[in-house]
Structure 1
């Protein structure tokens, strides 16, 4: 998810735009560019790659990695590269529902559709016999997961070992998202003005309908956190949060820390990262990546692996 500040600026200036964006063929939005997991799911989803694991494979740690709003499996490609050659952990990259396809598909999908892709892979792995599953979630996948926990989705199911949230969004940095219900229908969509290279892996245009879905999801999760969310027995949660996140206000981490406890009633683990990036673990296609950014990424990847191998 990118900053929504342009939304507020456009609304204040009283500008209008066409209800349908000018989509070119080389954009993800076009329906001619697709997330690669749709072509070869066995390269991304463990449930497709090894649907019938041996007893040894079934007990090996599995990390289900899920991306954020308007993104694709690309968001965790660098983590896949980091794990390349390892035989002690599996990675399953999930494409959220409605994502990685056309603008029209994205526009009509609800946040429940986004979330369904997570549970589909989780249930497929459990059915196949995998017993050691963790979830790694960036940005909007964070609240999608928190809602599952709050609604007792894991009750009666194999509980995940670790829930690992990178820059989860509960409160947006740009407060203009709260206005989407009023100005969204007038705007139709938001133009991100992102670099052309990112157009193939992130939606260039954000339909106002999807922003309303995002706002609804965040409202639900904030209320869940106010009531309190208890993790399943045997499940731990850690939040990795960029200190100067331009998309997900760092107060998001505070709300999660205050609102989520493990089964024993203990607070969750929050690590603040000295970074100005949103989803700081994704560095490809960014400009001006620093040595510190690279060190943050490597340290976080190492910590994630160490936690799932415990």
Structure 2
């Protein structure tokens, strides 16, 4: 198939999954009503906001920043928060900039804006005196963590104790995603097939501008992995990836395994999960959740917590 025919097919196919005039109402996350509680009650989500004057006992605890994916909200990690016993560690749920607000805020955001929410909380925790900090990211949250490694951000800041990635997207499972830069302006946005309940926690309408931003950060990370990337000294890293991920191709994790090394030159840890869902650690609001899916989630949660020290 020549390039012209491929683009025509991509255009026709995308028409069935895209929106030219999104009908945005206030029952959607895309609307003007703010649903994500971290925006109006940040002390319930961010450790830096809840403990602005930490005691020595507070500072002795390990902090885990949890980072959601593209178009999502803090809800994506709420199950981990609810499951956790925070007697020796605390969870800081970061809302990426441009997310959890309204359609236009999302449309105007850049991937650098998304990343800034991670570094803002990370640096606030360091300034408060925390010395044991780990980060876990799902989907694009994992991609942004990889970009922080590539850019050398951690070389100039406290080295994280652990980095955990859940179904990171470096290569998309969708062959059409890369054509958005060409046909996106004609289609305005893509509409997600999600339930009424999910509409409150994920953007239903994804502006093509934000899909371009996602493609850009993925490209940046792929280039970094091709050139070779090295973890900060003393940082443990593990990727968990659904074997049949419908969104983030497992090629993503292959590239990470080949292109990212520890400070001593060793391969990072990788675990493929017997799963066919994207972000397998989020099960709430999914239909027909199986015993295996629950086991996968619990396996990842336990491994994350057991690495804290």
- TM range, smaller chain: over 0.9
SS at match of 1:155: helix
The alpha carbon displacement at 1:156 in A equals 2.7
**Hey, what does 1:81 align to over in structure 2?**
82
CA deviation after TM superposition for structure 1 residue 18, in Å: 6.0
Residues 102, 225 of structure 1: alpha-carbon distance in 2 compared, 3 angstrom cutoff = same
Q: Distance in 1 between matches of 2:14 and 2:89?
A: 52
Task: Please tell me the root mean square deviation across aligned C-alpha atoms, in Å.
Answer: 1.6
Cα distance in 1 between the residues matched to 2:48 and 2:39: 14
Task: For residue 56 of structure 1, report the CA deviation from its aligned partner.
Answer: 2.7
Query: How far off is 1:10 after superposition?
Result: 6.9
Q: State the partner residue of 1:128.
A: 128
Tell me by how many angstroms 1:193 deviates. 2.6
Give the equivalent residue in structure 2 for 1:66.
67
Q: Cα–Cα, structure 1 residues 8 and 132, in superposed 2: closer, same or farther, change >3 Å?
A: farther
Ranges in structure 2 where 5+ consecutive residues have no aligned partner: 1-6
Q: Which residue of 2 aligns with 1:36?
A: 37
Separation in structure 2 between the aligned mates of residue 13 and residue 138 of structure 1, nearest angstrom: 28
- Residue by residue over 1:155-205, the C-alpha shift from the partner in whole angstroms, topping out at 9 and shown as x without a partner, is 231110000000000000111111011111110001113111100000000
In structure 2, C-alpha distance between the alignment counterparts of 1:8 and 1:291, rounded to whole Å: 42
- Is 2:172 the partner of 1:172? yes
Provide the rounded CA distance (Å) in 2 between the counterparts of 1:148 and 1:303.
23
2:181 counterpart of 1:216? no
Counterpart Cα distance in 2 of 1:111 and 1:118: 12
Shift of 1:11: 1.7
User: What SS class does the counterpart of residue 190 from structure 2 fall into?
Assistant: strand
In the alignment of these two chains, the number of paired residues is 302
Residue 15 of structure 1, CA deviation = 4.3
Tell me, in whole angstroms, the C-alpha distance in 1 between the residues paired with 2:41 and 2:239. Answer: 31
- Match status 1:25 vs 2:26: yes
* Distance apart, 1:97 and its partner CA: 0.7
TM-score normalised over the length of structure 2: 0.94
CA offsets, 1:70-94, max 9 Å, x none? 00000000000011x4311110000
Give the structure 2 partner of residue 4 of structure 1: none
Distance 1:307 1:51 in 2: 26
Q: Give matches, 1:55-204, under 5 Å.
A: 55-83=56-84, 85-204=85-204
- 1:245 and 2:245 aligned: yes
CA distances 1:78-114 after superposition (whole Å, capped 9, x unpaired) = 000011x431111000000100000000000000000
SS in 1 for 2:211: helix
Contact 1:26 1:33 in 2 (8 A): no
The superposition leaves residues 250-306 of structure 1 with CA deviations (integer Å, 9 ceiling, x where unpaired) of 111110011111111111000110001100000011011101111111111111100
Separation in 1 of the partners of 2:260 and 2:8? Answer: 32
Aligned to 1:207: 207
Once the two structures are superposed, what CA deviation does each residue of 1:88-147 show, in whole Å capped at 9, x if it has no partner? 111000000100000000000000000000000000000000000000000001111111
Q: Output the CA distance in 1 between the equivalents of 2:14 and 2:214.
A: 23
Partner secondary structure for residue 134 of structure 2 = strand
Contact 1:33–1:200 under 8 Å retained in 2: no
Q: Is the 8 A contact 1:8 1:176 kept in 2?
A: no
Q: Identify if the C-alpha distance between structure 1 residues 287 and 14 changes in structure 2 by more than 3 Å, giving closer, same or farther.
A: closer
